[in-house]
């Protein structure tokens, strides 16, 4: 008996130009383009196994060993349905292929990063889900094509199908067919950039990205300014900075965009606060670190960015990472530098 099963994994990505706002909530079409760095291959990944079997009664999914409901018409069901549709097209074209699109699937997904890292796992999770179904169904599709489907699981997931520096082009079409991810540059283009993750809190965030960004779209006037007058130029400039390996420009834009994202969260009614006092103290530390470097005739040495939570991600050239960890441990005495079994380098327990 043939077993139809495939296992694939996908990493987490952290945005430098933030996705925040949907123009279509069902298809997950964004109000602006975004750009991220996919974290290194072995760190912070979701690994997913999919199996199709005629004896299964229905589609089922387990996340870190716990079964999740696959709601009809929901994001998981949409991704599975879309992938199955692509397989069915292949089977229609080639009668020799086994008709596995008709079999229910069982899917099991695990994250290799400690839950304590407090990092969003929907990006790596949906990217790994789509990649594993593509392998199961032996679909000859490229990553941008698959990103159209991962996007419908979680917007930021579309960027995790590529490594390195990745842009999600917002697109213009109502059907979403031009809203997909493309690689700006592979990781090898700029291996010197490292990401340091400072775990400020591993509490579950108060306002989810999905509901928070919807409220911002409905109430923030600042978001309208951001969409029209800020992001298009930043996308252009940061892409050029990446291609030129210009850390100074990359860092400046990354920090400005993190600040503006948190400003639109504050401009939402009622306001949303994702950073806390410790997050703001880390910003002050990086600002001072950069100020001293520039005052001494140098360039920016680090860039902070924050997603929908208080944890800091600091991008910096490799040579500065040790110094930055030492600074954090010095100013946040409860912080411990850690290197987990997967080689993730960060600090945890960063408290004021
Ligand atoms: C702040 O991709 O989690 O991390 O599409 O509703 O699932 P949904 O939202 P999600 O939002 C991510 C928001 C962000 C910025 C980013 O990753 O670009």
Reduced to 3 states (helix: H, G, I; strand: E, B; else coil), residue 290 is helix
Q: What is the pLDDT of residue 117?
A: 57
**Average pLDDT over every residue of 126-151:** 96
Residue 6 DSSP one-character state: E
Instruction: List own/partner pairs for 21-24 with CB under 8 A and 24 or more apart.
Output: 21/213, 21/216, 21/217, 21/223, 21/227, 22/155, 22/213, 22/214, 22/217, 23/217, 24/174, 24/176
DSSP per-residue letters across 293-314:
HHHTT-----EEEE-SSS-EEE
Closest by Cα among 9, 5, 1, 82 to 41: 9
Q: What is the pLDDT of residue 352?
A: 43
> Can you tell me the ipTM of this complex?
0.99
pLDDT at 266 over 60: yes
pLDDT at 345 over 60: no
CA 300 → CA 32, 52, 179, 185, distances in Å?
27, 51, 33, 22
CA–CA dist 309, 92 (Å, integer):
46
Helix (H) or strand (E) holding 134: helix 122-136
pTM of the model: 0.94
Ligand 1 contact via 348 beta carbon (within 6 Å): no
Predicted confidence band of residue 120 (pLDDT cuts 50, 70, 90): low
Ligand 1 contact via 28 beta carbon (within 6 Å): yes
Query: Can you read off the two tokens belonging to residue 152?
Result: 């419908």
Range name among 195-204, 225-234, 238-247 with the lowest pLDDT average: 195-204
CA of 154 to the centre of ligand 1 (A): 7
pLDDT at 29 over 90: yes
User: Which residues does residue 182 pair with via DSSP β-bridges, in sequence order?
Assistant: 167
Q: 285, exposed or middle or buried, with CB in 10 Å at 0-12, 13-18, 19+?
A: buried
**Average pLDDT over every residue of 267-277:** 96
- Separation of CA 35 from chain center: 10
Q: What is the pLDDT of residue 342?
A: 39
Ligand 1 contact via 262 beta carbon (within 6 Å): no
Range name among 26-30, 143-147, 280-284, 333-337 with the lowest pLDDT average: 333-337
- Separation of CA 55 from chain center: 35
Residue 161 DSSP one-character state: G
Considering only CA atoms, which residue is closest to atom 7 of ligand 1? 154
DSSP per-residue letters across 217-262:
HHH-HHHHHIIIIIHHHHHHHHHHHHHTT-HHHHHHHHHHHHHHHH
- Separation of CA 228 from chain center: 23
CA of 308 to the centre of ligand 1 (A): 8
Nearest-atom number in ligand 1 for the CA of 75 is 7
CA 277 → CA 229, 264, 328, distances in Å?
30, 18, 15
Work out the percent of the chain whose per-residue pLDDT is above 90: 83
Closest by Cα among 300, 192, 226, 221 to 34: 226
Ligand 1 contact via 125 beta carbon (within 6 Å): no
Compute φ and ψ for 262, nearest 5 degrees.
-70, -25
CA–CA dist 124, 101 (Å, integer):
24
**Average pLDDT over every residue of 12-41:** 95
Q: What is the pLDDT of residue 323?
A: 95
Ligand 1 contact via 31 beta carbon (within 6 Å): no
Considering only CA atoms, which residue is closest to atom 12 of ligand 1? 156
């Amino acid at each position: 008996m043939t077993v139809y099963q495939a296992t694939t994994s996908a990493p987490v990505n952290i945005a430098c130009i933030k996705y925040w706002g949907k123009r279509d909530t069902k298809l997950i079409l964004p109000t602006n383009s975004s750009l991220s760095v996919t974290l290194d291959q072995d760190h912070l990944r979701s690994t997913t196994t999919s199996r199709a079997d005629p004896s299964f009664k229905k589609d089922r999914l387990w996340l870190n060993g716990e079964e999740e409901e696959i709601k009809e018409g929901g994001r998981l069901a949409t991704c599975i349905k879309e992938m199955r549709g692509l397989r069915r097209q292949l089977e229609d074209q080639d009668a020799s292929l086994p008709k596995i699109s008709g079999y229910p699937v069982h899917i099991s997904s695990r994250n290799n990063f400690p839950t304590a890292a407090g990092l969003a796992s929907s990006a790596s999770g949906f990217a790994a889900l789509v990649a594993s179904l593509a392998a199961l169904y032996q679909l000859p599709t490229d990553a941008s094509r698959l990103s159209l489907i991962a996007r419908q699981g979680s917007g930021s997931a579309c960027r995790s199908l590529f490594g390195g520096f990745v842009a999600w082009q917002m697109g213009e079409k109502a059907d979403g067919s031009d809203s997909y991810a493309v690689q700006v540059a592979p990781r090898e283009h700029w291996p010197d950039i490292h990401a340091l993750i400072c775990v400020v809190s591993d509490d579950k965030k108060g306002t989810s990205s999905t509901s928070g960004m919807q409220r911002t779209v409905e109430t923030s006037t600042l978001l309208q300014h951001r969409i029209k007058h800020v992001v298009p130029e930043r996308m252009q400039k940061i892409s050029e900075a990446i291609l030129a390996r210009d850390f100074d420009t990359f860092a400046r834009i990354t920090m400005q965009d993190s600040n503006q994202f948190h400003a639109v969260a504050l401009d939402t009614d009622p306001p949303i606060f994702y950073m806390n006092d410790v997050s703001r103290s880390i910003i002050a530390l990086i600002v001072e670190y950069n100020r001293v470097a520039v005052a001494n005739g140098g360039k920016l040495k680090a860039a902070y960015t924050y997603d929908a939570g208080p944890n800091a991600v600091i991008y910096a050239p490799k040579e500065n990472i040790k110094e930055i960890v030492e600074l954090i441990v010095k100013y946040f005495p409860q912080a411990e530098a850690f290197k987990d079994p997967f080689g993730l380098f960060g600090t945890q327990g960063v408290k004021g």
